[in-house]
Amino acid sequence: MAATLLLASATVLLALAAAWLWDYVVGVRGPPYSFLSGCNHEMRKMKAEADDGLRLDVHDHNYLPRVMPHFLARKQQYDRFSFQRHAGEPFLYWMGPRPRVCLFDYELVRQVLFNKSSHFFKDAAHPTILAMLGKGLVLVEGTDWVRHRRVVNPAFAMDKLKEKELANAAGKLAECQKTIASLERQIKSLTDLIKHMIYI
């Protein structure tokens, strides 16, 4: 009787350990769930720290440490323990009571967007955002999205974009010519001044 009980408890412990190890190796890792708040408190704290101490260079396009520091912190934390060949392992975080998965691997993002696009739906927008933006191409789905896309698509045709770029380039060229003309006048007046100073 005792041997059977010992064998049953060992089997249960072994099954739990195997399930935990399988989830650790195969599953998507992330912070534990907090009731109703999710990771919001931690994300707010990291964002406040980033806003206080981090200055961004105007020419630096690496804005992620300032805008979403919690993404980078989680990415670095879970990439360290990754058993995969490449970095950029997906991780899970909680926005309130809803789980969200963050992908950093471009190939995985491409696979999800092209092959599994019908499995993912846009979140319902906050009423304030709906009042500001309306139900445009960004916020609609399904047949409404197809209709909006069909209306907007001709504006982004290659011919229209080329015309727009040519007009922008012509405007910039005209500005450069005005600048060069004003510089020529200034250089001429400077050389006249130097010539008069030499002959005095």
Q: What is the pLDDT of residues 46-91, one digit of tens each?
A: 888 777 766 767 777 777 777 777 777 777 776 655 555 455 677 7
In a domain, 139, yes or no: no
88 lies in the same domain as 37: yes
* Tokens at 69, concatenated: 């520091």
**At which of 94, 120, 146 does a domain end?**
120
In a domain, 9, yes or no: no
- The DSSP 8-state label assigned to residue 123 in this structure reads P
In a domain, 65, yes or no: yes
**At which of 120, 149, 166 does a domain end?**
120
Rounded to 5 degrees, φ, ψ at 95 are -100, 95
Render each residue's pLDDT in the chain as its tens digit; 200 residues.
777 877 778 787 777 766 665 555 556 777 777 777 777 778 888 888 777 766 767 777 777 777 777 777 777 776 655 555 455 677 788 877 888 888 877 888 888 777 776 677 777 777 887 888 787 777 888 888 888 888 888 887 888 788 888 888 999 999 998 888 888 888 888 888 888 888 76
36 lies in the same domain as 110: yes
The residue range of the domain holding 189 is 157-200
**At which of 91, 120, 149 does a domain end?**
120
Number of domains in the chain: 2
In a domain, 148, yes or no: no
29 lies in the same domain as 107: yes
In a domain, 145, yes or no: no
96 lies in the same domain as 164: no
In a domain, 70, yes or no: yes
116 lies in the same domain as 169: no
28 lies in the same domain as 94: yes
Single out the residue of 92, 101, 97 nearest to residue 34, CA to CA.
97
106 lies in the same domain as 170: no
Beta strands in the chain (DSSP E): 91-95, 98-102
Beta bridge partners of 100: 93
